[in-house]
Amino acid sequence: MPYAIIRTGGKQFRAESGKTIRIPSLPGDEGAKVTFSDVILGSDGNKTMVGVPGLKGASVKGEIVRQGRGKKIVVFKMKRRKNYAKKQGHRQGFTEVRIGDITLG
């Protein structure tokens, strides 16, 4: 089964055709097409190609399934004996992308 390792949002993700991956937020509405051209590694099932730093001519195409926000985390800061405590929440945004076509160049 062909797959590719792509880099987006400062992180690396394994992309396989038909699978849905959750990546850091991308601009675009649901149903919009996206193309990832920063492919680090690719495999067609028989041979594996590694790019330094990326594969030339390789790309991964996908479709945005939904935009959302992750689970809430609590950020709590405190300094003992100083009467200082601060509680804050954070929800990181994400984009779910259904991977379509993988081209390895």
- The model's pLDDT over 3-59, given as tens digits with 9 standing for 90+, comes to 999 999 999 999 999 999 999 999 999 999 999 999 999 998 899 999 888 899 999
pTM: 0.84
CB within 8 A of 75, min separation 6: which ones? 87, 88, 89, 90
At 64-99, the pLDDT tens digits run 999 999 999 999 999 999 999 999 999 999 999 999
pLDDT for residue 45: 84
What 3-state DSSP class applies to 75? strand
Q: How many residues does the chain have?
A: 105
- For 3-37, b/e burial (b = at least 16 CB within 10 A) is bbbbebeeeebebebeeebebeebeeeeeeebebe
Rounded to the nearest 5°, which phi and psi values hold at 11? -130, 165
